[in-house]
Structures are given as C-alpha cells and as structure tokens.
A and B are shown apart, each in its own frame.
Chain A
Amino acid sequence: MPLESKHLLGLEGMSKEDIQLILDTATSFREVLERPIKKVPTLQGKTIVNLFFESSTRTRISFELAERRLSADVVNFSADISSLKKGETLKDTARNIEAMKIDMVVMRHSAPGAAVFLSKVINSIVINAGDGSHEHPTQALLDMYSIREKYGSIHGLKVCLIGDISHSRVALSNIYGLRTMGAQVAVCGPKTLIPRCIEQLGVAIFNNIDEAIKWSDVLNVLRIQLERQDRVFFPSLREYRKYFAVTKERLDKSGKIITIMHPGPINRDVELSADVADSEHSLILQQVLNGVAIRMAVLYLLGMRS
C-alpha cells in the first residue's frame, strides 16, 4: 500500500493510516538495523541529494545512513559550500542539481514553507528535513515510533512539549502527528515562547513545569537558546533552569514514572539535568536509533511509489 502523497512535506493533514504505515514499515527496518550486515538493496540505482541549508549533524547523518543502508547513491550539499553565497536562488540551485538526474531531495532549510516551495519547482520527490519552525515530519514520526515502541500504542497518552515552542523545528509536526494518532498534547514554557492561538490546534498550555509534569505521561523536552536573531525571549538561562528545567527532583516530586524525550542536541543542565537525560526512563538514544529506521521507511515508501 503506497503513501497518499508523492512527497513528505509535513504531518499536517496526513492520515492516521499513512502514519501507521510509516511506523509499521519502520519496524521491519529497525530489525534490519540489528543485523550484522545492515544493508538492503531496496533503493539501488536511486540517487538522493541531501540539501542542507542549515547545519544539522544529527539529522543529516541519520538520513545519510538510512539512504546508504537502502543502497541509494547519495550526494550531500551543505550551505557552507553552497552557491547561495554567489546569489543563486533556492529554485535555481535545486533545478541545477535536478538537471543531473536525481530521484529524491531531502532538504533542511530555515524558511517555513521552503519544502512546499521546492516541491512546486522541481519534479523530484521532496522530503522535508525541517523547514524553519514549521514542520520536521521525520523527527515527529521517530518520536511517535519511540513512544509506540515503549507503550504499545500512542492513543490516549498524554504528551507535553516543553520549552521554546515558538522557534522549535519539531513542535508542530509532533502536535499534528500525535493528535492524529489519538494522543493528548500539551505545551509548556514561558509565555514568551508559546505562539499565540496555539490552543486552537487542540493543545493544552502550561506555564508551570510542575503542573505540566503532573499532567504528563511523556515529556518531550526542547532545546533552549537564550538568543534568537539578537532577540531575547526570557531573562536568563539561569532563570529558565530554575523554573522550567526538567530535573530529577521535579520528576520525583510528581511520584510517577514519566518518559523523557529530547530531539537533541541537549543543553545539559539547561533544559534537562544529566540525571534525567541519562536515566532509565529516557528514550533519547532510542530516538536516535529509531530515526534511522523511520527515515529508511519514509525513503522506501516514497521511493517505491515512483
């Protein structure tokens, strides 16, 4: 059964069946990753370009590993060596690369909607590897996979995203995907980091971390940065740590077991204390492993479609 869409641009509007299909497909690739020889010939002869206009070690390596393990030919393009500095537009860059006969483009870009735009100006399959603070579908899929792996089902679970919701690359995709799969979703953070009207997406809002912890089964803790384009959204990292960091002390106080997730990279001792990040209830490293399986599943399902 193929996916409904030619591209993977985001999880908004994606059906439950398609999400289920990706998660189920990832299960079989997860099994491949446990083998001594982790390579399958599925995408042999296909060429995939990783177009990264923003630095991202983890996501790029994860995609590249997934591509290579499916036997695809892989080309990497990153902004540092890009022609963008010479004034070339995204459209021209992408069309020039496409002219060399490729099949898929995986793109990371700082601008919301960049992946949608790309899908309109080239013919290749587009996978969104993060378009600014809009969507990052494979991250949300691997988060859901990790939750499902632990709990057996996503339905009915309470998942709270904590931190900088406004500028997060992963918040929206998580909200869309988790709600489609029947989870209850909340966001928690200082009011300055929670975008207006987000409650209209069907999420609860907390400004108090202890209340959020009390409510949640799963905490997905987001990376905190003090400065965003030379603007400051909260007084200091010290104050953030004091009032919003997820610490063992806070978790213990709640008296229940709570699963901890983080999309990485972690600011240790800012949003998350080390004893929580490395605890038995942390899924953080499983997320990373599952990321490769999810990306293999997505590449496979889209690659097979064509």
Chain B
Amino acid sequence: MKLRLKNGRIIEPSTKKDYVSDILIINGVIDKIKPNVASKKDYQIIDLKGKIITSGFIDMHVHLREPGYEYKETIETGCLAAAAGGFTAVCCMPNTNPAIDDASIAKWIVERSKQVRNHIVDVYPIAAITKNRDGKELSPMMELVDAGVVGFSDDGNSVESSELLRRAMEYASMLGKPIIQHSEDMYLSKGGVMNEGFISTKLGMPPIPSIAETIIIARDIQLANYTRSQYHSAHISTEGAVELIGNAKRVNNKITCEVTPHHFSLTDSIVCSFDTNTKVNPPLRSNDDVEALKEGLKDGTIDVIASDHAPHSFDEKQIEYLFAPSGIVGLETSVGLSFTELVWKNYLDIYQLIEKYSVNPRKILHLPPIKIIEGEEANLTIIDPELEWTVDVGKFKSKSKNSPFNGRMLKGKPIAVLNHDCMFINGSVLY
C-alpha cells in the first residue's frame, strides 16, 4: 500500500520537531517526509491539513477480558476499540480467566493479537505478580518475561503482604520490569462502593475513603526505595496520592504513576444518579482530588494517562449500584476527554499530552521510542484537535458500552491510526 499523508502537522517527540509536511509511506514504512512532495498516481492521498500526526499512542492499562470473559470484550474488539480511540498499542491486565500468571497464557494473548483481522494494535500483556492474583505466591516472572510480558500487576487487587511485595519488587527489578500496583487497602475499602465524603453520606452508600489508596502508596514508596526497584502506581485518584508520589519522585526517578480520564473528568457527585456506569474502582473522587490530579498532570507528577478500560456487559450493569461490577470503558473517549479537559483548559500543551500518551508509557515499559523519520515503520496517531463531537456509546467498537460519558460534547478527537501497514481512519479500516 502506498500512502501520501498531505499537509499534516507532524509532532515528533523523539526529536522535538513540530512542522508541516507531507509523508510518503510505502508498505508501512516511512519513505519520505517532505513538504509538497511529488507522488505518483498509485498513491492514496489523505489530506490532513490542520490535523496532528504524532507517534502512536499506547494505553498501558486496558482490560481485554479474553480469555474468560469474551461476552464483555475480546482481543479483537478491544483492539478495534483501541484503534478507534487513537491507540496503536495497549497493555492488557491479567485479571482474565485464567489469569495471566503463566507463560502459555501470555504467549497465547500475544499470538492471538497478531491473528485478529487488521492487526493495527500491538498488545503487550501485563502478568500477575502472584499466582491467580491471590497475593500468596509469586508467579513465574522470568518465564513470563520470556513470553513477552512488559510488567507485573495484580490489578483489581492490591498485594497486601509487604513481605511478598518486597520479594516481587526485588525479583522484577532483576528482570528490569515495573511492578504496577492497584493501591487499595482492602480493610479500609471493604464493602465500599463510592468515595467517602458528603455525597456518600447523602446517598447512604457504603464508602471507600481516600486513605485506602494513599496508605498503600505510602507503604509501596518505602518498599520501592528500599529495594531500588521500578514502581508504577496505577490509576491514582486522590490528592494525597499526587502529593505522596510528587515527593517520592524528587528522590527516586523509578517511581511513576498514571491517571484515568474519568478520574480527572468526573467527581463523585455524578453518583447521585445511581447510574452504575459511574461505579468504578478506585471510585470517582471529590472536586479537590480532581483539581489535584490535573495539577499533577501539569507539573509532571503524573506521567501517564491510561484509561483502565474495563468492559462489562449491559445486563451486568443493569442491577443495583451496590452489587454492580466496577468499571468504565475508556479506550474510545480517553483522548477526547484529555483534549477537552486538559489541553483546551490549559492544563497541558500538546507536547505534554503526547508525552503522557506515547513517550512516557513506552519509557516506563522499556519499549523503544517511536520515531517519525524516513526508513522507520509508520506507527502513527492522527488527531483532529478542533473536531467537536458527541460521545455515542452506540458507535463504540468495544463490545461493551458502560460509559458515563454518553452524550457528552468533546473537542478533539483521534481520527486515524497507522501501524503494521494497516490504517484505521474515520471509524473503519482503510486497508
């Protein structure tokens, strides 16, 4: 396939260049980058005037649900949702059934992701820290790394035992892989379904205090410093977490963290609707927390924006709030929310946004940086920063529609991705 991307604004994070040019791509490889370059008739021309072309985005926190929960999402539908959301890569979390705690499962997922129709999105599995994610015995980490996993997490559960987590950190650091912690003190959060505060009191809802998150992060920082290992805090949601990690980073550059778009776009007051699509773990927090998260993104305390894409079927969410499963599908709204809430509200400039979606997560996961230079494979995300659109879950590529953002107006939308000589543009696969 021969392609001419015309007049796009290229932002190349590895060289920090920002310029308007044409790009010629032959069979998925960047052949030429030159303004008004001549191309022969057999090139497909795509006019990208006013659009941003940048290095492919990665969502490092996604639940693809396969194997085990294919009625919620499959590797194929999840990857298509990722492409529609502007991502050329995702990391899938290990709370599948069986869990990703064995090399055979990790290998199977990687293989499966290459066999799906239109292989655009690279899938990098994150393996369980402990067998079956039950916090008792270490998973076979070396074998898992050989099978292609890029990090370790018991996501959905915190590793409760400080001793076991210490061993996990030591072992993972030997392999050069991060430990990614879901921070939740299970004693403090027990039975809770939403943030503790005025709203939970008003609704009579069992609460989850912010300290359920910060207590684990505070402990983990101590462990990470002591073991000199790489530690990444998943989906932080509280002002306290931003403060703890901000302070820790000043002395330890191996500590990083991520935030989800729903945690910086919504507060717990939306739970007053009792809409189960607002139920998520960690829960939506207060105004102060949201403000702290946005400031944390701005000042660099928060390295990564990741969606924690957590599909659940329609019927699973059609029950009482108390009993509904936690989770929000995020792949297809992530970038739009970040533009709307962060870029257009002057928390982040476009360069910072690209860092949080492409440069930083790849660094944390030790994946090679993506370069937009001649001779490199084209791995691109293309964004229309001005496009105003309305979220319509009916149009989601994801199998599940559990989003609290349905009907929300956003400004800024990824319109295309290109990877492995395959392009997804304006809602469908071009070739």
Residue positions of A touching B, CB distance < 8 A: 12, 89-91, 109-114, 116-117, 121, 131-135, 172, 195-198, 200-201, 229, 231
Contacts and interface: CB of A to CB of B under 8 A. Distances in A.
Given A89-B318, A111-B321, A133 B207 contact: no
B39 interface: no
Nearest to A109: B320
5 contacts: A90-B320, A113-B203, A113-B205, A113-B321, A196-B200
Nearest to A53: B320
B322 A110 contact: yes
B197 A196 contact: yes
B201 A134 contact: no
B205 A112 contact: yes
Interface residues of B, number: 20
Contact of A112 (B198, B319, B321): B321
B197 A197 contact: yes
B288 interface: no
B323 interface: yes
A109 B197 CA distance: 23
Nearest to B320: A111
A198 B197 CA distance: 9
B274 interface: yes
Interface in B94-110: none
B200 A117 contact: no
Contacts of A112: 203-205, 274, 321-322
Interface in B189-233: 190-191, 196-198, 200-205, 207
B325 to A, nearest CB: 13
A148 B205 CA distance: 30
B149 to A, nearest CB: 35
A203 to B, nearest CB: 10
B201 A195 contact: yes
A54 B100 CA distance: 40
A273 B200 CA distance: 32
Contacts of A133: 204
B163 interface: no
B197 A135 contact: no
Given A90-B320, A111-B320, A134 B204 contact: yes
Pairs A-B, 9 closest by C-beta atoms: A134-B204, A113-B274, A133-B204, A111-B322, A111-B320, A197-B198, A195-B201, A112-B204, A113-B321
A113 B191 CA distance: 16
A92 to B, nearest CB: 9
A229 B320 contact: no
Nearest to B271: A113
A128 B425 CA distance: 49
A198 B320 CA distance: 24
B315 interface: yes
A172 B202 contact: yes
A91 B319 contact: yes
Contact of B323 (A111, A172, A200, A229): A111
A191 B318 CA distance: 35
A110 B200 CA distance: 16
Given A132-B322, A196-B198, A196-B201, 12 more contacts: A12-B202, A89-B315, A91-B318, A113-B322, A117-B320, A131-B204, A195-B201, A198-B201, A200-B198, A200-B201, A229-B191, A231-B191
Contacts of B320: 90, 109, 111, 113-114, 117
Kindly name the residue among A91, A114, A197, A200 whose own CB sees the greatest number of chain B CB atoms within 10 A: A197
B319 A197 contact: no
A172 B205 CA distance: 11
Contacts of B190: 231
B106 to A, nearest CB: 33
A49 B64 CA distance: 42
A111 B201 CA distance: 14
Contacts of A132: 204, 322
B196 A172 contact: no
Contacts of B204: 112, 131-135, 172
Given A12-B202, A172-B204, A90 B319 contact: yes
Kindly name the residue among B190, B200, B201, B205 whose own CB sees the greatest number of chain A CB atoms within 10 A: B201
A132 B194 CA distance: 15
A133 B192 CA distance: 13
Contact of B319 (A89, A110, A172, A231): A89
Contacts of A89: 315, 318-319
A201 B322 contact: no
A251 to B, nearest CB: 29
B205 A134 contact: yes
A134 B203 CA distance: 5
Contacts of A229: 191
A195 B319 CA distance: 25
Nearest to B286: A197
A133 B321 CA distance: 13
A167 B322 CA distance: 14
A205 to B, nearest CB: 12
Contact of B200 (A12, A114, A195, A201): A195
Kindly name the residue among A113, A131, A200 whose own CB sees the greatest number of chain B CB atoms within 10 A: A113
A121 B318 contact: yes
Interface in B295-331: 315, 318-323
Contacts of A201: 201-202
A90 B319 CA distance: 7
A285 B225 CA distance: 64
Contacts of B322: 110-114, 132
A134 B26 CA distance: 62
Contacts of B323: 111
Interface in B164-194: 190-191
Interface in B41-55: none
Contacts of B319: 89-91, 117
A197 B205 contact: no
Contacts of A114: 320, 322
B314 to A, nearest CB: 11
Nearest to A195: B201
A148 B201 CA distance: 27
Contacts of A200: 198, 201
B321 A117 contact: yes
B315 A197 contact: no
B155 to A, nearest CB: 25
Kindly name the residue among B197, B202, B315, B323 whose own CB sees the greatest number of chain A CB atoms within 10 A: B202
A139 B265 CA distance: 38
Contacts of A196: 196-198, 200-201, 207
A291 B159 CA distance: 50
Nearest to A89: B319
